């Protein structure tokens, strides 16, 4: 069932909190495991019993469509029980703290928790207070590791690897946890990264992460192999970072004119949700270069791999404790 990892490495981490702390070999191990689950699924093995008896909690303190649904489905495909928690309608409104809420859910026998929160570091806080394995499903502006992994998986499927590739991350880099996870993952695996957007949405320190900066999409559109179009994170912006959505779309939106000036084999990615007419036009979103729905499909297998590898670590820990 394990992937034939190209590195021969064993996964040892109890939590998946970000790609920053992972080695290239650990990232490849996750990608290889996800690819193995995808291969099995294609061969008709749609239900595996690898997490039988395990209960996975999906704790979402922020809205989600793709991440929440695919984690829930990933757990079910591995035969785990699932419990979904949403902050709206919960006892948080009566004053219960974030950590107490999670500890109460853990007390019901939940041993893996998938956590999305608007505060950067929230999953890390739970990792220090709970015994459960924690998977970061997006924390504030910090990281979204499984989104980074599914982006990597999609690029690897279409391009075979990362060496020699240049990937553009376009848009709201300042507020994007997806940008940060992509930067860590892509640079560790040997790709070149260029970030592009309005100057107000590019953090000043970003070049220290090993990326190039461009403020002009037209300058880079013809030279990159992959363009990942990041959403304008209006919910995290505390002031106006550009004059209007129309102006943003004019200068940084991917449209028919720009796709015709891009490489003939350019890949268009977007983490979603997409805002048609803002980050990209329908012609681009639904066109032949778009792999946006491939990303969503791969999200399921990346999340299966994450839950499975964390579970194996907890099983090993339990075996050692029983000796
Ligand atoms: N890409 C992503 O995280 O989408 P959701 O917010 O719908 O989970």
The residue with greater pLDDT, 307 or 2, is 307
137 and 155 in a common domain: no
Q: What's the number of domains the chain is made of? A: 2
Ligand 1 atom showing the smallest separation from residue 137 Cα: 3
Rounded to the nearest angstrom, the distance between the alpha carbon of 291 and the centre of ligand 1 is 16
Per residue in 155-176, pLDDT tens?
999 999 999 999 999 999 999 9
Q: Please state the length of the chain.
A: 323
Give the neighbor-by-neighbor strand order of the sheet with 166-170. 212-214, 192-196, 166-170, 226-229, 267-269
Q: How far apart are CA 121 and CA 202, in angstroms?
A: 21
pLDDT number for residue 86: 87
Burial environment of residue 257 by CB neighbours within 10 A (0 to 12, 13 to 18, 19 or more): exposed
Q: Exactly one of 15, 38, 55, 67 is catalytic; name it.
A: 67
267 and 163 in a common domain: yes
pLDDT number for residue 321: 77
Q: How far apart are CA 22 and CA 45, in angstroms?
A: 29
163 and 88 in a common domain: no
248 and 226 in a common domain: yes
Residue 164 lies in a domain: yes
125 and 34 in a common domain: yes
Ligand 1 atom showing the smallest separation from residue 116 Cα: 8
Place of tokens 């032949």: 288
Mean pLDDT over residues 72-97, rounded? Answer: 93
Q: Residue 173's closest CA among 198, 153, 140?
A: 198
Judge if pTM exceeds 0.85. Answer: yes
State which residues form the domain around 50: 24-144+298-318
203 and 78 in a common domain: no
pLDDT number for residue 241: 73
DSSP state of 267: E
Q: How far apart are CA 205 and CA 211, in angstroms?
A: 10
Q: How far apart are CA 285 and CA 193, in angstroms?
A: 22
Question: Which residues have CB under 6 Å of ligand 1?
Answer: 64-67, 138, 144, 147, 271-273
Rounded to the nearest angstrom, the distance between the alpha carbon of 138 and the centre of ligand 1 is 8
113 and 180 in a common domain: no
The pairing of strands 55-60 and 112-117 is parallel
CB contact set of 169 (below 8 Å; sequence gap of 6+): 176, 179, 182, 183, 193, 194, 195, 196, 211, 228, 230
pLDDT number for residue 237: 59
Residue 28's CATH number: 3.40.50.1370
């Amino acid at each position: 069932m394990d992937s034939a990892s190209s590195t021969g490495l064993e996964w040892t981490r109890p939590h998946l909190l970000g790609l920053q702390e992972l080695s290239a070999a650990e990232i490849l191990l996750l990608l290889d495991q996800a690819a193995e689950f995808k291969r099995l699924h294609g061969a008709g093995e749609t239900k595996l019993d690898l997490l039988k008896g395990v209960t996975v909690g999906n704790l979402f303190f922020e809205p989600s469509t793709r991440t929440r649904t695919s984690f829930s489905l990933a757990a079910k495909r591995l035969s785990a029980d699932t419990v979904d928690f949403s902050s709206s309608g919960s006892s948080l409104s009566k004053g219960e703290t974030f950590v107490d809420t999670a500890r109460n859910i853990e007390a019901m026998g939940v041993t893996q928790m998938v956590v999305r929160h608007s505060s950067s570091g929230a999953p890390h806080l739970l990792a220090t207070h709970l015994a459960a394995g924690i998977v970061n499903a997006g924390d504030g502006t910090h990281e979204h590791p499984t989104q980074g992994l599914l982006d990597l998986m999609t690029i690897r499927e279409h391009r075979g690897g990362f060496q020699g590739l240049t990937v553009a991350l376009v848009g709201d880099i300042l507020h994007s946890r997806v940008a940060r996870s992509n930067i860590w993952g892509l640079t560790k695996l040997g790709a070149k990264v260029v970030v592009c957007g309005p100057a107000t949405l590019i953090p000043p320190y970003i070049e220290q992460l090993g990326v190039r900066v461009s403020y002009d999409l037209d300058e880079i559109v013809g030279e990159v192999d992959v363009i990942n179009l990041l959403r304008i994170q209006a919910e995290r912006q505390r002031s106006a970072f550009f004059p209007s959505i129309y102006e943003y779309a004019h200068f940084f939106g991917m449209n028919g004119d720009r796709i015709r000036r891009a490489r003939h084999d350019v890949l268009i990615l977007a983490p979603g949700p997409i805002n048609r007419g803002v980050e990209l036009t329908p012609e681009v979103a639904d066109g032949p270069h778009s792999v946006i729905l491939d990303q969503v499909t791969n999200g399921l297998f990346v999340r299966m791999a994450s839950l499975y590898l964390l579970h194996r670590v907890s099983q090993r820990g339990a075996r050692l404790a029983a000796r």
